[in-house]
Amino acid sequence: METRKRIGLRVLAALLAIFCLAFGTTAPAAIVHFEDAPNGDFRIAEITGLVVGSETYDVDFSHGGQYTALVTPITFTTQTDALAGAVAIEAAIEALGVDAESSFTSRPFDIFIPYDQSSSPTINIARLRRSSFNPLTFDVAAATANATSNFASTGSITEWATFTAIPEPASAALLALGGLAVFNRRRAHR
C-alpha cells in the first residue's frame, strides 16, 4: 500500500510539473506604477513582474538619498546583468508612451541599478538617463556613483532601483508539492 502512495505522489508531481511548464511559462507584461501620474508626478514607485533574462522581478524605487540607505541594494553582481535590468526597465517604461513633460521640465532624471561596490565609496551602476520627455525615454550606460552622496540634494531626480526575484509558478508549485509530500510521509510514519 505504501508503494502505491509513493507512486501516486510521483505521478501527481510529474503531472503538476508538466502542467506548470505548459501553462506557467509565459510571463505577463510588467506593470509600472508611478507615484501620482494623474497629478503629474511620474517618479516611478515600482515595477511588478519585470522579466530580466529568464528571471522575473519586482522592482522598488527609492527616490534620491544615499546608496548606503538602501535595505537590499545589490541583486545583480555583473555589469552585464545590471545593464540587462536597465534595458528591461527602459522597455517597460517606453512601452507606456508616457508624456512626462509637466513633471520633469528641465531637471535631470536618472535611475541607478547598483551591481558592485568593491572599491568603496565608489559604486558601479547601470544608469538610465532620461533622453526625452514626450514620450519618456532613456539612454542606458554603465557608470559609477559615490555611495555616500545624497542625490536628493542635487536638484536632480535620482531613483535607486532594487530588484526582488519572484519565483516562477512552476518552481512555487513544485516547492508546495514537496512540502505536501514531506507532510504526508511524516503522517504515514505515525
Instruction: State if pTM tops 0.85.
Output: no
Domain co-membership, 98 together with 175: no
Q: In terms of residue numbers, what domain contains 144?
A: 31-167
Domain co-membership, 89 together with 182: no
What residues pair up with 125 in beta bridges, in sequence order? Answer: 114, 143
Domain co-membership, 144 together with 86: yes
User: Which DSSP string corresponds to 76-87?
Assistant: --SHHHHHHHHH
Check residue 83 and give its pLDDT.
94
**Cα angle at 71 between 175 and 32, to 5 degrees?**
70
Say if residue 121 is preceded by a cis peptide, omega within 30 of 0: yes
Domain co-membership, 137 together with 97: yes
Domain co-membership, 58 together with 125: yes
Domain co-membership, 19 together with 62: no
Domain co-membership, 109 together with 45: yes
Check residue 171 and give its pLDDT.
63
Domain co-membership, 73 together with 98: yes
Spell 144-162 as b/e; 16+ CB within 10 A means b: ebebebebeeeeebbbbbb
DSSP state of 151: G
Number of domains in the chain: 2
List of residues 6+ apart from 77 with CB closer than 8 A = 115, 116
List of residues 6+ apart from 181 with CB closer than 8 A = 9, 13
pLDDT tens-digit profile, the chain (190 residues)? 455 555 554 555 445 445 544 555 455 688 988 888 777 777 788 999 999 998 999 999 888 777 877 777 788 889 999 999 999 999 998 888 877 665 555 556 788 898 887 877 888 899 988 887 778 788 899 988 887 776 655 556 788 898 999 876 666 566 666 766 776 676 666 6
